[in-house]
Structure 1
Amino acid sequence: MASSSDFGVILDELTCPVCFDLYKEPTALPCGHSFCRVCIETFWENRKEDTGCFCPNCREVFPQKPKLEKNVIVANLVENMKLKKGKVGLGVEIGDAEHGNVNVKEGVKSGGSESYCELCNGEAAKRCVPCEILCCEKHLKPHQQKGHKLVDPEVKIEELRCTQHGKPIQLYCKDDESLMCLMCTGGQHQEHKVVAVEIAYVELKGVLAAKYPDVSLSMESVASQLQQVQEEEEQTENSSRDAEDRLEEKRMLVCQFVNESVDLMKSQINKRKMEKLSLLGKQREKLEQQMENLREGKSTMDTAFQELEAVCFLQGSKNMLKRLRTMSDHEGLKRTPLPVLDFSKEEKTLDGLVTLNKKFMEKIQKGPEKVYLQHPEHLFPVEHPERLYLEHPEHLFPVEHPERLYLEHPEHLFPVEHPEMLYLEHPEHLFPVEHPEMLYLQHPEHLFPVEHPEKVDLDQNNLRNHYGRTPSLDPNSAHRLFEISRSLRTATRTVFENPYPKHPDRFDFHTQVVSRESFSSSRHYWEVDVRSCRFCRIGICLNSMGRKRRGRGCMLGRNPESWCLEKRDNEYSAFHDDQCNDLSVPRDPERFGFFLDCEAGELTCFGDSRVLCVFVGNFMVPVKPAIGVLNDGDSVHFVRLVK
């Protein structure tokens, strides 16, 4: 006699996998699986959008709808089961197991990314990997009993199959750290160490668990350093704000002193001017009187010349001779010129102030003395000489005491006990720099001194001959309101947009364009003709400056990544990081010239032959010449220079 467990197994085999009830008129498909006739027909009717019919169990596709024939054996077994038991363990009375009470749901959703059971409209609980079907809790039971692999509904079947063979992924190659199917073991993984994915999962999870505490400690360390950085940033902001306030007070005092000094000198000049003008006025009155007397004498002589009678002529000769004597007295009189007023003393006093101010500005623009270090590709300056960094086997660390320099010994780092002597490494030994004011740099063949960062003759002819460049515009970066010439040297702003293709480098808001060339070392000089432009910005920018948004981050001169001159009609300004400095330009220049010294960290800007300003920054990272035009119809172009 069959036990209750055997009875449960038989009952499961006589249960329709769609309606989960005993078969009602069971029919067999060509693949061998059986279903209630109503269940399978309803299932196919609700999937009219699919091409062909397929088995809900094994997913085998039938090009034509199969002819449904009654499975006589299964039907007899169901009838016998009904006779033996009146109620089965499915929670459904056999007498009520009619398809009017337990129907297959219409509008079944299957496939795609929706998490719906493919046999009913219920919410999918799992996806059966072998059967490739989404099942709800109700329809999941047969797959669980058969030991099928179940995953979350969100997991795609394609992710669980081998991309090469299309078979289920069951193995993990430790050598290649790759997932594989059984067929992959015969190829390149034949000699590799391969384990089941479950074993690899446990092992790798253990590795991660072992490293988890280290990651936590690292996070704590980084958090502590971030806190220190934030505190230093706040301290820097406060100290900078205090310094700016003090500078503002000193500027008011300096302006007051200069104004009072100039006013005093102007009053002295005005006093001397009035004294001399008074003397000159008296001389003018005297000379005017003399001129009047001479006119009267000349008139008398003209009258005498016209007299024809001798008697009449002699009668008036007495008066005429008297006037001649008066005129002869005027001929001996000569004006003594007054000394020219000399204001050179006052000008020299002001020149002294101007010279002092120029030296002060040059010192500010030059910044701290630069220390040069060797990079694998070029030499670059240390912007902050107050902190020197040395290489440790694990990391770079700062020299906390600048008065002590450390050098590397084969065994350890040792201090220079006498700061007045600097030591450099030679292939055979260490030797001192006898003149600390000179820094030595390593050349592939020998060491050579850098007495100062080399001063360059800023004569423009010299710059053109030695460092002249002719940049070319990058059409992929040009805003659509720009028309770029065939020579790639002229940019003209148009009224209508040009049909340029999309490109990650293209400016999409600000009408700007950059050059194809970028500079990060050596020296370069180029010129831009601005005669045909009323409103433009010309300068350089880092290649990393933004291109795709509105705001200061993408506008020349308005962010830390760009430097430029701005021309607005007859007004000129220098911009960097949204800081504006108005420039005094006596006449409108036809060209802007730019001399970039990457190692010195300086960008010298010219208006024709006059230096307008000098930008100081780190130009060892790639920078590009850049142009912005803000008025329709205006154009600028790079001047062709022959190096």
Structure 2
Amino acid sequence: MSAVLKDALKCHLCSKFFHEPVTLECSHSFCHHCIDGYWSTKVPDTDYTCPTCSRGYPHKPRLTLNMELAAQVKPYTGAAVSTPMQMCEACSVHPASKMCATCDMNYCDKDLQVHKKRNHVIVDLGMCVQELQCREHSEFYKFFCQEDETMVCTICKLMGYHEHHSVITLDQAYENVMKSLHEDTSKRADLIKRVTELEKKYYTRKSELKDLIHQRVQKLDQDREEIIKLVTKITDTKKEELNKQFEEKDSALKKIIFNLNNKKTTLQKDKESMETELRTKEPIIFLLKCKELQQRLKITINGATAEADEADITECCPIDEEDSCTLEGIKCSIWRQLSGQTPTVDENSVHEQLLLSKDLRKVTLTEVSQPYPNQQGRFDSLYHALGAEQLNKERHYWEVDVSQADHCCVGVAAISISRKQKDGACSLGRKSDSWCLEKSNGNLSAWHDGCERPLNVAAIPHRLGLFLDFQKGKLIFCRTDTMMFLHTFQGNFKKQLYPAIELMGSDGSVSFCQM
């Protein structure tokens, strides 16, 4: 550091590096004990002056340690930066504890009591008095303007800017602010409590959600394993069925081949005999044997041709056009295992001419009315019955036996389906609130909203499988013997759905199958 800068860190009175430096309002700095000793020799009733610029101060300036300057001097003196103890300016014996801003003097606790009784402004040591005074009138703040929310002096209140404002004492303002802060603190305490409770709920909910997700992931893994086992089992079963079919048809073909080989051997012998006869040169001998040979060849050829006919081979070993070893068939098998259920008939919906079995799964059309109680939800015009279980889950699969009915409908219906003749009741599938497959005169057809779609099937199955995916709006009908799809309805299911049955004609029965 240059000599000029070092000189700037030295006291003008002792010419040494500052020790506990203090700075006057004129910006000149001195050691605390140097300036204090300098002023102790002044002539009474004269101003306190700056030794450097001679600026006068009517009252003894407050000497506060210049922390920044002390820090700069520390590397040269090695002295710790500390605030010098300020003594009571009344007794000069005890350390000062507070400052009387009204008198601008530091006092110990004993000498401070007189100033408290006089209601002087008491503040902490080292506090700037100007902060407690009105900038305009240099008077201590005595009041608080509620409109501007600021402290004001007596002059401001009586004749200044705040003359006509709502003004209260500082004690009143203090009490009001403290009360408001206490209320805010109480509110914040309540909010902190609520936030803490919500935080606990959050972590509790997070833990529950984590456990739930973990359980569902485990369930998905288990379901995946079950589905893999199920698909493997189904495909293995289908393979065994196909191998069995092949063995049966192969055995039949082997019998045909065996017979054809025998005929082929016979034909070969006859051919050789004929070639031998053709080598005969004598006409009389040839003609004698020719008639017998021609008769025998005619019988052999006719017999071999009939048994070797390709149509006979096709009839003996027909190839099924419908194959259950398709993706659709496997899907139906999986649905049967995972979503299979056994519906029961709703006793309060069944028509009075439908006899309901004790297990509530079979309805039979009779000529005699049953003594059912009169219910608002009972069908009274057509031979309908609804299932008791609502189809409200994601997926459902059930089967219906239609082998004992020549004319019937099976499917699903919304709860809003018309049940009374006066309400325009009609067969299943004739309106938008029902979907069905109709069996009639050896034919099958799909019905919905009055639209019929005939189905091309070689033979009507005894049992029909129904798969409902409520979320995706899909209703699938399939055969239960081959698990082949018969028809698929695609829609948007919004209302509650139930299994539905309808019998037509004069007799017959339909039943929900035990799964």
TM-score interval, normalised by the smaller of the two chains: 0.3 to 0.5
The structure that has the greater radius of gyration is 2
Q: Structure 1 length normalisation: TM-score?
A: 0.30
Structure (1/2) with the larger helix percentage:
2
Structure with the greater relative contact order (CA < 8 A, sep ≥ 6): 1 or 2?
2
Q: Structure 2 length normalisation: TM-score?
A: 0.37
